[in-house]
Amino acid sequence: MLREKKPIRSYHGEQFRTNPTNKKHLAEDFGHRCAYCDDLDTYGGGYRAYHVEHFAPKEKFPALRFDYDNLLYACPWCNRAKWDIWPSNDPKINVVGKEGFIDPCSEEYDQHLERLADGSIAGMSPLGKYMHKTLQLYLKRHAIVHNMDKLKRKRKELEDNIAADKKLGKDCSKKEAALQLVTKDFFEYFDMWEHESKGPA
């Protein structure tokens, strides 16, 4: 599994003819995470820096420009890497041989890409390897962001736990030591992230 949660395009209201409006719904549906790499927008320039991505590219299929079912919330790195690359002349034919793209909103997406223990992303099938290479999912920043995100949530969980224990008068020295370690790890990734963030965005 690459993502903890598969995004669902839940918005089925009026079809908006502007993508800034679609973007608000997409950010909610995708939990403010890039559909391809799962990076939280907080670590990629925020909501404003994230893009409305067209699964079947708008350059090739202008009729799908505002079609919500063809839209994704994506980070600038994945969006720029994918550009107008598409394996066919038909928006419905998303894979030809071992090349193409799987819609991140489908169950199938996670069968092709995997999150490794060190936080990096790997292609698990020939198609997964194609997506990994084309979308540049090998970029170091994706592993760094994933680890920061995970450690930050762990920190919050420990802090809440310690606060609750303290209220009950329990000894929380073990948890406090764990919190120190998690905080130290978080800032190690934070330094790497600051360094990496000097790239595009």
Amino acid, single-letter form, for residue 145: V
Q: Closest separation between CB of residue 74 and Zn ion, Å? A: 6
Q: Closest separation between CB of residue 168 and Zn ion, Å? A: 42
Instruction: Establish if 36 lies at the interface with Zn ion (CB under 5 A).
Output: yes
Token pair in block for residue 160: 């809440």
> Which one of residues 34, 102, 121, 151 is an interface residue with Zn ion (CB under 5 A)?
34
Residues 64-83 that bind Zn ion (CB under 5 A): 75, 78
Instruction: Establish if 179 lies at the interface with Zn ion (CB under 5 A).
Output: no
Q: 8 vs 163, which CB is nearer to Zn ion?
A: 8
Instruction: Establish if 121 lies at the interface with Zn ion (CB under 5 A).
Output: no
Question: What are residue 123's phi and psi, to 5 degrees?
Answer: -85, 130
Instruction: Establish if 109 lies at the interface with Zn ion (CB under 5 A).
Output: no
Whole-number Å distance between alpha carbons of 189 and 155: 14
Q: 26 vs 75, which CB is nearer to Zn ion?
A: 75
Instruction: Establish if 43 lies at the interface with Zn ion (CB under 5 A).
Output: no
Number of Cβ within 10 Å of residue 67's Cβ equals: 16
Stretch in the footprint of Zn ion (CB under 5 A) among 10-18, 36-44, 59-67, 172-180:
36-44
Q: 71 vs 75, which CB is nearer to Zn ion?
A: 75
Q: How many residues does the chain have?
A: 201
Q: Measure CA 117 to chain center.
A: 17
Whole-number Å distance between alpha carbons of 12 and 114: 30
Whole-number Å distance between alpha carbons of 58 and 152: 36
Q: Using CA atoms of 66, 72, 73, 75 in order, give the dihedral in degrees to the nearest 10.
A: -110
Instruction: Establish if 26 lies at the interface with Zn ion (CB under 5 A).
Output: no
The site for Zn ion (CB under 5 A) is made up of 34, 36-37, 75, 78
